[in-house]
């Protein structure tokens, strides 16, 4: 049924967005207005005359930013000059009072709008029954869409930009070392209004994101109905795995099973058919058919039926996200492409730096030596899916069925996991009061998808933890994901409640919250009282982190190259995009993986679901792994909770200064490579 809902929503979206955006284009033409440098200069002089003690450089930045955002509907040039004269605040005490009021009011606005968005998305995100098409329409509605324009219309946005202008990333990195938290808060207030996006385009972007999220959330493979080369299934009849996360996790779990490699080969074949879209459309999220995955034949009631392949829907979703994201480019003069906005803007690490870090690691001798060690441990040649080899983690030696029994009994429903969170936090050395407080600020729900964490944006609300829970309780895969999401929620709560100013809430970018999620996830067995003691634990940790980085950095390099290709080919069809993605994935494989795995032209790096539903998010994972490793080195032998509180309460600085405060050094792959070299030497003995 969801496929029909998606088609209906796409049609409605296309009609609404086209008419709405055509009207916006007309309005933009009518309201276009340029306030030239002469007017900006004379305005600065007029304000300076009224406020002789004002900082000329800061004043000029504020007036220039307002000029960039001002349109004819905001008033004439005289109105612009008068606005700046009347609303500029030069007195430090008055400026601080203005900041405090803005800080308070934005929490009210953003927090309540996010609460509304989360609640409207509950049917789409939570496992609370069948979806209706109206659920999808409400999920696609963006409560924030008109907020920015309303704040410009009321002049609130202009007051903010005038008195707290944007500072460039270079300025923040150059000056931030001597700033206190109030200086950083002022700088972050300057990031609030740097563009002026039409509500129509925001709504269109939201609709595309909702469609792709729903597509991925309902993309399940019923593995008990997948047939191997022998014509038999090798999985439990009720096994339902979301792509790609659960497919990957099931593949990982089969390294210790008797017929594990046969299962792994079947899963890899499923992945290949998803990537090239030869997967029969009818087998997606359906238990009504048997699917011979190798010969790509479909059977119903024992008889072969004709089954059409999925019609490049996967790549159409990616294309829709590109089109609606690219439409916002003209409104970001400092970052005129989404690629630049994502890295230099949102991540605050230029793409070139990110790419250089990734290439350094995936090209390293340490990775190649690790590949040889894994081959030795497996006793066979490496296969492409061994990018997910997890033999350097304690849980790889434990039987997953036994773990399933433990977690299913312990957590039969979301409420049971929620009730146990305070205990888990105390096990991680948080004191009784903070453990109770943090747990009280997190709500646990069953998820349609693999799971996610959604932080609150006001202190009176709770963060949301969502993980997939079956009828027989939370299996180990679901528990492992839940602990990961729990780490996100703890970060989200600490960085909302314990920072000095609301505007500083959060972390520099999503990689920094991924880091704490990884740190929690690695402790999942310990939280069950099952952690294995191992004298070589630090060596195992280094090699596990290195291999994880190797996998996800390759995926991220594919993701970046795909977006560059889309920008170079903006009129491409879904079929052309599919061919490009597969070609790029094979090219990255051949450059950085073929010599390690002994095979060429493998497409596996194109399977990651976030490539489809979360534009250019993937780089956050490997950056998160590197941060995770540096943090683990920093907190080793210290009180875990004290260190997490110290590190995550500094506020949303730039990555450079956050890392300096956290571990005393910049983000780098070198600490991981050096530790991996030591670990490899240890295992060679």
Backbone angles phi and psi of 59, in degrees to 5? -60, -45
The average confidence (pLDDT) of the chain is 91
* Cα R_g (the chain), whole angstroms: 26
Residues 526-570 have pLDDT tens digits of 999 987 667 688 899 899 999 999 999 999 999 999 999 999 999
Separation of alpha carbons 339 and 564, rounded Å: 8
Residue 338 vs residue 401, higher pLDDT: 338
- For 64-113, how does the pLDDT look when each residue is reduced to its tens digit (9 = 90+)? 999 999 999 999 999 999 999 999 999 999 999 999 999 999 999 999 98
CA-wise closest residue to 349 among 606, 653, 674: 653
Q: What is the mean pLDDT of residues 512-520?
A: 94
* H helix runs in 193-312, sequence order: 199-217, 245-253, 260-275
> In the Cβ-directed half-sphere of 370, how many Cα atoms lie within 13 Å?
33
Q: How far is CA 682 from CA 212, 328, 563, 676, 679, in A?
A: 45, 52, 41, 10, 5
Rounded CA-CA distance 224/218 in Å is: 17
Percentage, residues of the chain above pLDDT 90: 79
Which pLDDT belongs to residue 394? 52
Measure the CA–CA gap between 439 and 214, rounded to whole angstroms: 29
pTM of the model: 0.84
State the Cα torsion 294-296-302-306 to the nearest 10°.
Answer: -170
Indicate whether 472 pLDDT > 50.
yes
> Does residue 398 register a pLDDT over 70?
no
Dihedral of CA atoms 304, 306, 312, 316 in degrees, nearest 10, equals: -110
Alpha-carbon distance of 566 to 577, in angstroms, equals: 8
- The confidence score (pLDDT) of residue 123 equals 80
For residue 29, name the pLDDT band (cuts at 50, 70, 90).
Answer: very low
Residue 10 has pLDDT above 50, yes or no: no
SS3 663: helix
Reported as a single tens digit per residue, the pLDDT across 581-595 is: 999 999 999 999 999
Residue 25: predicted pLDDT: 45
What are the residue boundaries of the structural domains of the chain, listed by start? 2-215, 218-311, 315-392+535-638+648-684, 399-527
Tell whether the model's pLDDT for residue 161 goes beyond 60. Answer: yes
Is 412 a residue whose pLDDT tops 70?
Answer: yes
Residue 127 has pLDDT above 90, yes or no: no
Q: How many CA within 13 A on the CB side of residue 220?
A: 18
Query: How far is it, in rounded angstroms, from Cα 445 to Cα 128?
Result: 10
Average pLDDT over residues 221-238: 95
Give the DSSP letter string of 571-628: T--HHHHHHHHHHHHHHHHHHHTHHHHT--S--GGG--THHHHSTT-TTHHHHHHHHH
How much is the pLDDT for 388?
Answer: 97
Bridge-based pairing of strands 442-446 and 463-467 is: parallel
Q: Which of 314, 287, 528, 494 is nearest to 405 (CA)?
A: 528
- Residue 636 binned pLDDT confidence (cut-offs 50, 70, 90): very high
Residues 155, 160, 161: CA angle, nearest 5 degrees: 95
**H helix intervals, 37-165:** 37-50, 56-69, 77-87, 92-120, 122-125, 133-140, 147-153, 156-163
Q: At a CB cut-off of 8 Å and minimum separation 6, what does 259 contact?
A: 234
Mean predicted confidence (pLDDT) in 277-297: 97
Q: Is the pLDDT of residue 393 over 80?
A: no
Q: Binning pLDDT at 50, 70 and 90, where does residue 141 land? A: confident
Report yes or no: 46 and 8 within 8 Å, Cβ to Cβ. Answer: no
Residues forming a β-bridge with 447: 126
The pLDDT value given to residue 16: 36
């Amino acid at each position: 049924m969801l496929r029909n809902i998606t088609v209906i929503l796409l049609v409605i979206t296309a009609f609404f967005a086209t008419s709405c955006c055509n009207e916006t284009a007309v309005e933009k033409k009518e309201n276009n207005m340029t306030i030239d440098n002469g007017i900006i200069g004379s305005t600065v002089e007029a304000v300076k005359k009224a406020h002789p003690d004002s900082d000329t450089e800061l004043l000029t930045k504020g007036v220039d930013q307002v000029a960039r955002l001002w349109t004819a509907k905001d008033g004439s040039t005289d109105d612009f000059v008068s606005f700046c004269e009347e609303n500029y605040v030069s007195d430090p005490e008055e400026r601080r009072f203005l900041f405090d009021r803005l800080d308070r009011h934005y929490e009210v606005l953003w927090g309540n709008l996010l609460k509304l968005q989360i609640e409207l998305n509950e049917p789409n995100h939570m496992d609370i029954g069948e979806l209706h098409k109206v659920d999808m329409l409400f999920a696609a509605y963006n409560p924030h869409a008109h907020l920015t324009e309303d704040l410009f219309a009321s002049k609130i946005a202009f007051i903010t930009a005038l008195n707290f202008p944007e500072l460039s990333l270079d300025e923040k990195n150059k000056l931030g070392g001597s700033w206190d938290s109030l200086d950083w808060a002022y700088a972050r207030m300057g990031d609030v209004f740097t563009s002026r996006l039409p509500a129509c385009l925001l709504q269109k972007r939201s609709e595309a994101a909702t469609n792709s999220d729903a597509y991925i959330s309902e993309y399940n493979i019923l593995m008990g109905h997948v047939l191997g080369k022998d014509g038999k299934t090798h999985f439990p009849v009720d096994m339902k795995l979301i792509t790609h996360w659960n497919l990957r996790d099931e593949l990982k779990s089969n390294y210790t099973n008797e017929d594990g490699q046969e299962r792994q080969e079947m899963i890899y074949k499923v992945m290949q058919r998803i990537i090239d879209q030869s997967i029969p459309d009818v087998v997606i999220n359906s238990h009504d058919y048997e699917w011979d995955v190798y010969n790509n034949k479909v059977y119903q009631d024992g008889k072969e039926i004709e089954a059409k392949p999925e019609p490049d829907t996967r790549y159409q979703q990616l294309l829709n996200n590109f089109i609606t994201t690219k439409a916002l480019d003209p409104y970001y003069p400092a970052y005129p492409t989404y690629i630049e906005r994502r890295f230099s803007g949102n991540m605050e690490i230029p793409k070139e730096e990110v790419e250089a870090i990734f290439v350094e690691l995936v090209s390293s001798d340490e990775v190649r030596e690790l590949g040889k060690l894994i081959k030795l441990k497996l006793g066979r040649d490496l296969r492409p899916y061994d990018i997910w080899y997890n033999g350097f983690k304690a849980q790889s030696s434990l039987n997953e069925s036994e773990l399933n029994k433990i977690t299913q009994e312990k957590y039969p429903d979301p409420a049971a996991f929620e009730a146990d969170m305070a205990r888990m936090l105390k096990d991680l050395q948080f004191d009784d009061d903070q453990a109770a407080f943090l747990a009280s600020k997190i709500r646990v729900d069953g998820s349609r998808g693999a799971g996610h964490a959604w932080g609150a944006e006001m202190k009176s609300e709770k963060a949301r933890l969502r993980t997939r829970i079956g009828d027989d309780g939370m299996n180990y895969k679901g528990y492992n994901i839940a602990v990961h999401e729990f780490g996100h929620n703890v970060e989200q709560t600490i960085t909302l409640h314990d920072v000095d100013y609301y505007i500083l809430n959060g972390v520099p970018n999503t990689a920094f919250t991924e880091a704490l999620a990884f740190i929690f996830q690695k402790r999942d067995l310990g939280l069950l009282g099952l952690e294995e003691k191992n004298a070589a634990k630090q060596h195992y940790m280094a090699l596990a982190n290195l291999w994880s980085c190797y996998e996800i950095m390759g995926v991220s390099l594919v993701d970046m190259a795909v977006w560059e290709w889309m920008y170079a080919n903006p009129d491409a069809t879904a079929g052309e995009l599919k061919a490009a993605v597969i070609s790029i994935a094979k090219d990255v494989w051949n450059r950085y993986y073929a010599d390690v795995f002994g095979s060429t032209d493998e497409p596996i790096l194109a399977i990651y679901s976030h490539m489809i539903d979360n534009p250019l998010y993937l780089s956050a994972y490997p950056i998160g792994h590197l941060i995770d490793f540096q943090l683990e080195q920093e907190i080793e032998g210290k009180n875990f909770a004290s260190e997490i509180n110290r590190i995550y309460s500094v506020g949303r600085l730039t990555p450079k200064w956050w890392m300096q405060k956290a571990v005393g050094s910049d983000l780098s792959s070198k600490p991981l490579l050096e530790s991996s070299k030591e670990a490899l030497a240890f295992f060679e003995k």
